[in-house]
Amino acid sequence: GAVVSQHPSRVICKSGTSVKIECRSLDFQATTMFWYRQFPKQSLMLMATSNEGSKATYEQGVEKDKFLINHASLTLSTLTVTSAHPEDSSFYICSARFPGSSGANVLTFGAGSRLTVL
Amino acid sequence: ELKVEQNPLFLSMQEGKNYTIYCNYSTTSDRLYWYRQDPGKSLESLFVLLSNGAVKQEGRLMASLDTKARLSTLHITAAVHDLSATYFCAVDKAGNEKLTFGTGTRLTIIP
């Protein structure tokens, strides 16, 4: 089955530093990956769509200069939280579309990365 | 703007009982998904519903879709403790890969 590997699973950093989160599709190629953010006990909010070889598409209200997304290959997308502040503390989840036989948008999710900014 | 609402938001139920979680969405959509999330974990895909009247079952869970009513249900039969988790529905449209998630239903099964 399709596997999306996300690393690190947990990261604690000081305010003002930058943190990079990696999302890899292990056994399939993903031209598109998605980055979600989830606050405690809340739903998932789409932050951006990561497109291989081109610029990411950000959702309204998401600061593109704070959340840098790079999709340099068909199996890797990275999210860098720049100059992190405590309000950036959250659970970040990536996902990739694995082609389903039914044609449905079968998203496979990474394990998530819990970011804590002190 | 597509909105997806779930009802109830919180549900405590005794083992062995049956219950239904409801998912309403605001505009026409082509596909409806159900996911499970355990505390501190990522999402596990449960069901993909593609057409009006679709019904899928896996173990004690059964999902159905009524596109005319813009409603999906997740029915739990004879609940067991292992089903305790948060359940999300999500919708999208063909040609648009972005999923919009529901508010989530936190299910707690009490022995």
With an 8 Å Cβ cutoff, are B40 and A114 in contact?
A: yes
Q: What is the DSSP string of B28-83?
A: --SEEEEEEE-TT--EEEEEEE-STT-EEEETTEEEEEETTTTEEEEEE-S--GGG
Query: Does the distance separating the beta carbons of A41 and B97 come in below 8 Å?
Result: no
Q: How confident is the model at residue B93 (pLDDT cuts 50, 70, 90)?
A: confident
Picking from B43, B46, B86 by the largest number of A CB atoms within 10 A of its own CB, the best residue to mutate is B43
Mean pLDDT (whole number) for B85-111: 89
Tokens of B63: 């999902």
Q: Which of B107, B105, B108 is nearest to B9 (CA)?
A: B105
Q: Residues of B with CB below 8 A from A44's CB?
A: 43, 88, 101
What integer is the mean pLDDT of B76-89?
A: 96
> Which residues of chain A lie closer than 8 angstroms to B44, CB-CB?
109
pLDDT tens digit sequence for B5-43: 999 999 999 999 999 999 999 887 778 999 999 988 889
**Which is more confident, A99 or B86?**
B86
CA distance linking residue A6 with residue A4, whole number of Å: 6
